[in-house]
Structure 1
Amino acid sequence: MATIDGVQAYNRVPRVTVDFWLIKLMAVTVGETAADFLALNMGIGLQTTTLIMMVVLAIAIGLQFSRKRYVPWTYWLAVVLVSVVGTLITDNLVDTFGIPLETTTIGCTILLALTFGAWYLSEKTLSIHTIVTTRREIFYWLAILFTFALGTAVGDYIAETLGLGYLATGGVFAAVIALIAVAHFVLKADAILTFWLAYILTRPLGASFGDLLSQPIEYGGLGLGTIVTSAIFLAVIAGLVAYMSLLAPRRDAHAA
């Protein structure tokens, strides 16, 4: 809980804990595999899938904004759907409009930087510990969307354009995230900077392992398919959300 203009308000996003990072990693994996399943396996096409999922995301975001506090199932539903839509946006730019992954990466980086810039100029902070107003939450979700789109572009560029493969790409991002963790916990680097760097990089990390599990063996994957892979990770997400829902009242009481 934080105080804004003398009024106490609940933070609308979760604390950054181990379960936060676990479920976030699962969510980005589902974003990759579910986007592929909806656009390809169901045969409704990339553009139609994107439009449908944008409408579903808008409903989920509206539900999230109506809560005015952190509620695990509404928050993480929104994250999963943002992950799917962020993936679809990048896929549309590359596959539908023929924009190279390098250009897409640069464009998403600029949009994310502009979002952070406008957020900081407006609120004088980029901290996720005080997302207690609607304006701050708007900036927060815009940043989340662009981190997913950027992470998709970077991951695909390294795995496909540079030919590093899914497993090696996942290993690269895991190593970079480990270095960021060392910078945060050991070198005491800025907490806000290290959080957002890690948040961006968990997207290509999760997507790489999602592709590794779902893609056919001849394309360097393990051949589980998008349906099985998505179902496995959705089940894990549901379990973690249930656990976080039980834990949330205790955390709120402790914070109070």
Structure 2
Amino acid sequence: MFAGPKVPEVFLVFWVVKLLTTGIGETAADFMGTSSLVLAGVVGVGGFFLALWLQLRAETYHPIRYWVTVLMVAVFGTMIADGPHVALGTPYYVDSAIYLVLLVALLRWWKRSEGTLSVHSITTARRERFYWGTVLLTFGLGTALGDTTAQNLHLGFAWSIVVFAVLMLIPLGIWAALGRPSTGSAGSAAVSVATFWGAYSLTRPLGASIADWMATKQGLGWGTGPVTLVGLILFALLVGYVAVTHSDVEGAHAAHDRDTDPERKEVAA
């Protein structure tokens, strides 16, 4: 049992950084794949396993270690999502269906094993392994979905951004409206968990579509290298912010609300 959850508090910065990692993962994987397969293997595969190993062996949450792991999952997730299409020639919608089945199966296994899928419950090594397996599959699914709309459905990156932004806002809005349900409200808790993972999965195709639109000639045409660099700078600034302020530590916002709201302070007392 860890001293506390090994994942950050979910608030606005969480979603912004998550979107950044998806975009960086997309363009970084493309940039390294076209520049050097050796570099792609070392950074994408080696970096993923090293970051995940360091995260899993730690006993406490740290924002830099956590978000670097998410970033490496994003790069590696892009590679494993593109791999079947490149190697086997499978359509992206087939890859999407396969990843969706795998994701649902893993979530069911996690629920049956631990009794909860809540990210607030990542307090044991076993639950954390389920968590990172789920995160990896959401990246694979999201990458394949983004390529499905942009290429198989011929929507292009601009329309893909619109589609996934709308699709993400629906579960995200429900999740935000529910807040953090009490443990006694099983129905609300189930909806909260489902909408969280729905919105989380959709950050991948949204962020990747934005990055591809910025990098390719279908959009701004900046190139994968410059887009990756800009993303990494923003990523470093935001992760540095939460590392210094500790604003993403589990319970930080609830404590702040109690301290600033007299009614909540009285209830907590």
TM-score computed with the length of structure 2 as normaliser: 0.85
Instruction: Measure the CA separation in 1 of the matches of 2:75 and 2:222.
Output: 19
- 1:247 maps to what in 2? 245
1:185 CA displacement: 3.9
Q: Note if contact 2:242-2:248 (Cα within 8 Å) is conserved in structure 1.
A: no
Number of corresponding residues: 244
Structure 1 residue 212 and structure 2 residue 205: aligned? no
| CA spacing shift, 1:129–1:121, aligned 2, 3 Å | same
1:178 CA displacement: 1.7
1:194 partner letter: T
**Structure 1: gaps (5+ residues):** none
1:183 CA displacement: 2.6
> Where do 1:32-47 residues align within 5 Å?
32-40=26-34, 42-44=35-37
Q: Note if contact 1:50-1:89 (Cα within 8 Å) is conserved in structure 2.
A: no
- 1:103 maps to what in 2? 94
TM-score computed with the length of structure 1 as normaliser: 0.89
RMSD of aligned residue pairs (Cα, Å)? 2.1
Instruction: Measure the CA separation in 2 of the matches of 1:213 and 1:20.
Output: 22
| CA spacing shift, 1:214–1:127, aligned 2, 3 Å | same
1:129 CA displacement: 0.4
1:140 CA displacement: 0.3
Equivalent in 9, 25, 29 of residue 3 of structure 2: 9
| CA spacing shift, 1:136–1:234, aligned 2, 3 Å | same
Equivalent in 53, 70, 74 of residue 61 of structure 2: 70
1:251 CA displacement: 4.2
> Where do 1:191-202 residues align within 5 Å?
191-202=192-203
- 1:146 maps to what in 2? 137
2:91 partner letter: P
Instruction: Measure the CA separation in 2 of the matches of 1:50 and 1:243.
Output: 30
- 2:18 maps to what in 1? 24
SS at match of 2:78: helix
SS at match of 1:9: coil
Instruction: Measure the CA separation in 1 of the matches of 2:43 and 2:211.
Output: 22
What do the CA deviations read for 1:69-109 (whole angstroms, capped 9, x no partner)?
A: 21011100000000011110111110122122121111101
2:48 partner letter: L
2:200 partner letter: Y
Equivalent in 126, 131, 147 of residue 135 of structure 1: 126
Instruction: Measure the CA separation in 1 of the matches of 2:178 and 2:64.
Output: 35
Instruction: Measure the CA separation in 1 of the matches of 2:243 and 2:136.
Output: 24
Structure 1 residue 85 and structure 2 residue 83: aligned? no
Equivalent in 109, 120, 123 of residue 118 of structure 1: 109
1:50 CA displacement: 4.5
